[in-house]
Amino acid sequence: MMIIMSGAIGAGKSNLTQILSDHLGTQPFYEPVEDNPILPLFYADPDRYAFLLQIYFLNKRFKTIKEAMVHDNNVLDRSIYEDSLFFHMNAEMGRCGDKEVGVYDELLANMMEELPYCAYKKAPDLLVHIDVNLSTMLDHIKMRGRDYEQVENDASLMDYYKNLLDHYKPWYQEYDASPKMVIDGNRYDFVNNLEDRKDVLKQIDDQLLALGKLSKEEYDHLMEKIRDMSL
């Protein structure tokens, strides 16, 4: 099966991707961030680099989901299905012009049309969306310590982060490429709290069972793994 994560910056997607892939015994795929040469440039000058950054991400996400779709089992920490959210938000903020929007939308549409022809699987099996509020988001951003993401270094990021959270609500409601579920990232500290981690994994396993993606035997085995789990 292919499971994709979604959620705002700092929601915990990469951490849950690793936790879930270890739990299911599948392959994780991660968004290129640490080795992304455009991302620091974008934070320094978003008006100049917004379009270039989204084209960079779109290309990487297209490559990743093509690879994931031809493998049997995997978890992606972000997918091509979220890309438009970021680009159009930046366009609304005046960081991209109409010509850039037209080029991006046409390129994304062409890529999405190609996916069924270059992969065995036409769509993900499940979207796991991690919902966080601004406070949780900022705490996570501070903990991971990337200088260019800190509001202390750039006060304008506060409005950017608020705007991003506002865009996720309608995006999740409209997403229809696969079954979907929400994990409450404000309530569950699945990184540091063992019981929270177990609860989150069980919620996902329950959903996979209900969707017919797990057999009863596979589900029971995973429940045993959860009971025996330690941090």
Q: Which of 77, 131, 154, 206 is catalytic?
A: 77
Residue 54 annotated as part of some ligand binding site: yes
Domain spans of the chain? 2-184
> Residue 72: what pLDDT?
75
> Residue 62: what pLDDT?
92
77 is catalytic: yes
pLDDT over 70 (residue 118):
no
> Residue 121: what pLDDT?
67
pLDDT over 70 (residue 22):
yes
Mean pLDDT, rounded, of the chain: 93
> Residue 192: what pLDDT?
95
pLDDT in tens, 33-87: 777 899 999 999 999 999 999 999 999 999 998 888 887 789 999 999 999 999 9
Q: What does the alpha-carbon distance between residue 2 and residue 177 come to, in Å, rounded to a whole number?
A: 12
Residue 83 annotated as part of some ligand binding site: yes
Report the half-sphere exposure of 120 (CA within 13 A, side-chain side): 10
**Residue that the structure tokens 């057999």 belong to:** 215
> Residue 33: what pLDDT?
73
Which option is the CATH number for 2-184: 3.90.226.30, 1.20.1440.230, 3.30.530.20, 3.40.50.300?
A: 3.40.50.300
Q: What is the CA radius of gyration of the chain?
A: 18
Note whether 202 and 20 are within 8 A (CB). no
Which of 71-75, 113-117, 145-149 has the highest mean predicted lDDT (pLDDT)? 145-149
pLDDT in tens, 171-197: 999 999 999 999 999 999 999 999 999
Strands 126-131 and 74-76, by their bridges, are unpaired
Residue 78 annotated as part of some ligand binding site: yes
Q: What does the alpha-carbon distance between residue 29 and residue 79 come to, in Å, rounded to a whole number?
A: 10
Residue 95 annotated as part of some ligand binding site: no
Residue 150 annotated as part of some ligand binding site: no
Residue 89 is given by DSSP the state: H
pLDDT in tens, 95-111: 999 999 999 999 999 99
Give 74's contacts (C-beta < 8 A, 6+ positions apart). 2, 3, 21, 26, 27, 28, 29, 68
